[in-house]
Structures are given as structure tokens and as C-alpha cells.
Chains A and B, each alone.
Chain A
């Protein structure tokens, strides 16, 4: 409840509240009048039921039959719909095998199925809801706001994800993934829920306005041309040094060999 009360001040509160209200109403309806509801409001109750089915088939072996968690996987009580949407639609979940890090892979579920799973997990406990497009849309941000997004990115994100979101190394073989080409919604959800090792940047501390600025900065820096030529992977001096040796010194030594070669003779 404290989550909701502090969100009230936020500019995106209306939209959030609306989503949450709809969701709660749907959930209450589903609980109170399950039989009646199936015809009138096909979405919600069916979604939760379908979600539960999908959950018990695909997720429960690690997360427990009721999402309470096992030794194989953490509890999903309170992670919210946003976490499910992020993990499942990026293909990170279900995990093919336990390992250091859940890799991104093509998703196994349709959007409907993901929505159903998210709806079910959201009933397990209060957690962040799936953000709606007004929260992560970058429309209407001024140049100064986007520049501030850059400043926020460098303060909060670049330590793991690198200057331009190329990703970086974490201890013991783990990695912060690349942010290039990641949809706005997923970037937003990741900040909101803190998947795997990533810390949480909740809306109370980093309001959705700031998150939008960060997303807008990322989009801009990925869309802008590399003014000075080939980008070399956005890795900075390591790749520059390698190119300096391989191309610079390599080509110049090639020329030096040509200059000093004895050359063809008439006989």
C-alpha cells in the first residue's frame, strides 16, 4: 500500500491508477463472481485462469506451484506483472537450464499468454504493474530533458551498461546486457523491477519522468550517426588501440616493405 500512496504525487499517477483500478476491479470481479464474469468480462478472469494453467506447466517446477519459490527459483510473490512481462517477453524466462545468467532468447509465448501469466502472478501479491505507453513514451521531451537523461544514465546506469549501453562485465562471468535495440517498455520494466542482479530503481526514487528521459537519451544516442566514422563497437580505447596497431602500424609496415623492396629487374 505504501507503494500506491507515494505514487499519488506522481505525474503518471493517473494513468497508473487507472490501470491498477481496472486490474483490481477485474480481480475482485473474478473472485466474487467467477461464473457470471466469463461472459461479460472475458479478459480478466479467463486471463488469470489461463495464466495459472500456463504457470503450473511452465514455471512451477522452479518457482513453486503457487509461486512461493523453491531452491531452484525465487518467490514470485510481490514481483508484479511488470517483472513477468519483462522476463517472459524478452525470452529470459522460462530458463532453459539453471546458470549464471538468464540469456535473452526468442520468446516461447504469445502476447496473450504473457499477459495471462502476468495477470496471474500479479494476483500473488502487490507489485509493479506493467507500465503503459505513456510512462515510457519519449514523445514531447525537450533537448534539455534528454540531456538530463544522459546525466542520469551516466550516474545510474553506465557503470554496468557502458557509456552507450553496450553492456559490461560483472563478477564471476556475469554480464550487464547490451541496451542497443531493447524496446522502451523493457528498459522501463527492467529499471522498475530489477531483474536478476540488476538493482531496482523504483518509481518513488527515480520517477517515471526521469526514466523517460533516460530512455529518450538511449534512443537518441543509438540513433545519432557516429560523427567521426566507424564506431568500433563503442568500446573505447581497447578497440581503438587494436585498430591502431592492426591497421595503422600494419598498413604503414606494408608501405615500408614496398618502399624498400628490391623490385623487379630487367633480367
Chain B
């Protein structure tokens, strides 16, 4: 075994510097750890001489530190008492106004007393450790990370003996069948997880991802207030955050699931300013157009509409859509145009859907058939 302490410098053993601090080294660590023996143009002078601190040589200084530490520890119970008092005595609605801090008084009082108290424990302990505990640097020998000499071989040998005694080398089917038996238990475990959720097969997708509440004749109503819309209520530049009227009938989970897909933005623009493809001429009512509010990128609801440029911006990732041009993507990471909801006016003069959305709304999913979307291609122009 090569002793690696070849360089004269490195073999300058630390014990010579600080023998009384030396920790008993591991029996097997006899310098057999192979490391880079760097070429040393300057020899190692060894660990720096230990210099005493003020508190080591001056008893008055040490006493002063002791007083500091003890004072800090003694302030902790004070803080704890103040914490308890704040908890019970400060009225809940009370607020404090101190410079930029305009907050709940109870919250701030509880936090300050607890925080200062806990911090004092830390500061006191550090001061104690830094100033009063012995601070001689200790040199500890390292052991190599691998196990002593032939221990690894020994472990493998033991393992081998065990395997041999188990009979596996002669009867291999034992181990294969055992492993197989245990391994197959993964199947029940995984099968049990199946019912976490439904399988998104084609039928399921048709009923969920590809369907919204919209269908022919459903009135466009204001979100939150559910007031129906008439074309004459909307002036040019108007934006309405709308939902289908039948959303009102739902509640709870059904409501949320539906509302994640059906919201729309209804905008009115000067008909002279907008480009309408030939096959969408009857999807609008004199400059009033309705688009899905759910971004085609990852599904944020978008209603950041600029009435002069007609651009709709998603505040999440800044995809920008042109509502005066079939909802095409102008900027940002979204790849598909916003789906447009065909609308008309019913007999009572209210805005209603002409049909459901012609394409699925919201973010892309793998099985989405996007060939009929108005993409960035020129297909509809």
C-alpha cells in the first residue's frame, strides 16, 4: 500500500501543532486515502498559532460578556410575558399606524415579542459560543470515505456466502419467482389508483373538454349580476364580461367546472374597423362580437381589452389577440386564435348564442383536433 504522505510538507503532522486537541483517529485511516498530491511551490506552514481573545486574558472582559449573555437570556421571559399579554389584551380590531406600517396591532405585537424573544436566544448563544467557549482550533484526521481495506470485499463475500447458502445459485427460479411475486404487488397498488379520476377517452373528452354550456338561443348575460344584454345597451368601445344565462342554474363543482370554460368577452367595435371572414359574417350583431374569455395558451381568463387598438391581452403570459380580426394571435406564446362565439338577436331583442363554440375553448390538449381553428395560417382569409 502506497503511503500517500509523500510530500514533506503534508506529512508535517498536525499533532505537532496541537497535540492535546488531537482526536483519536480512526484505526484504518492510516493515511491510506489517495488524494491529489499537488506540487507545492510554497510549503504548508501548518495551522495558525492560536491567539487568545480579550475574554481569555481579561477576567473583567469575560465577566462583561457573561453579563451580556445572561441579560439577553433574561429578556426572553419578558418577551414571553409581553406576548401572552398581547394575545389576551390587545383588541382584535385595533390597528397601529407607525410610518409606513399600518397594520393589525395584535399581529405586530405578537410577532415582535415572539421574534425578538427567539432572536435573543440565538444572539445570546452565539455570543457565549464566540466569546466564552474555548476556541482552540482542532485538527481532526479524515478517514477515507470507502470502508477499511477489504471491508467492501468482506461485505460482498458475506453477501455471497448468504446467497450461496440460500440456494439461489443452484435454484434460480427461487429468486426470480420471489422477486416476481413481490413485484406483481405493484399491480394492485397501481390499479387502486386508477379511480383517482376518469379516463379521458374520446367520449369523455367530447362531453367535457369539447363542450361548453353554450348552445343556440342561450342568452348572453353579465357575469355576477346575470343581467341579459341587448345590442342597444352596448356602445362602441364597450366590454362586457359575460356568461351563458344557464350558468345560473348550476352550483358548486358543476358551476366551477362550467365557469372554467364558458366565460366570454363581448365587445362592440365600429363595424368599419373590423375584418370579418366571409364565413363569420353572421356571427356578429352590428359590430358586437363575442369571444371565449379562456386563453388558448394555458387557460387564464383574459379580459384586458384595449378599446382603441382592439387588442386583448392576457395578464398571465401576455399573449395578445386581435378582436377586430377574428381573435388572431398578435404576440406572445399562445398559438391559436381565441374561439369566437356566434351570436344573434332573439325575438325579444336580447343577444343570444347562434350556436355553441365551433371549436373547443381553452388550452390545447394532445387529442385536440386543431385543424379547423383559425390559426396563424391564412385559411379563413
Contact = CB atoms under 8 A, between A and B. Distances in A.
Contacts of B234: 202, 204-205
B308 interface: yes
A197 interface: yes
A170 B313 CA distance: 7
Given A171-B320, A194-B307, A226-B103, A202 B233 contact: yes
Contacts of B213: none
Given A194-B307, A205-B238, A267 B103 contact: no
B258 to A, nearest CB: 16
Interface string A156-184: 10011000000010110010100000000
A155 B223 contact: yes
Interface string B214-256: 0000000011110101101111111111000000000000000
Contacts of A3: 235
A259 interface: yes
Contacts of B232: 2, 6, 204
A151 B259 CA distance: 15
B58 A171 contact: no
Q: Interface range on chain B: under 10, 10 to 19, 20 to 34, or 35 or more? A: 35 or more
B224 A227 contact: no
B106 to A, nearest CB: 10
A3 B100 CA distance: 46
B364 interface: no
25 contacts: A3-B235, A155-B224, A155-B241, A155-B303, A156-B303, A159-B303, A159-B315, A171-B313, A171-B331, A194-B237, A199-B305, A199-B307, A200-B237, A201-B238, A205-B222, A205-B229, A206-B222, A210-B225, A225-B102, A225-B104, A229-B103, A255-B122, A259-B129, A265-B52, A266-B53
A156 B305 CA distance: 11
Given A194-B237, A200-B238, A205-B227, A225 B315 contact: no
Contacts of A159: 301-304, 315
Contacts of A199: 237-239, 267, 305-307
Contacts of B82: none
B361 to A, nearest CB: 18
Q: Interface range on chain A: under 10, 10 to 19, 20 to 34, or 35 or more? A: 35 or more
A198 interface: yes
Interface string A186-203: 000000001011111110
A98 interface: no
B241 to A, nearest CB: 5
A205 B308 CA distance: 20
A51 to B, nearest CB: 23
A155 B237 CA distance: 18
A31 to B, nearest CB: 26
B123 to A, nearest CB: 9
Interface string B282-325: 00000000000000000001111111110101010010100000
Contacts of A2: 232
A170 B267 CA distance: 18
A228 B103 contact: yes
Contacts of A266: 51-54, 56-58
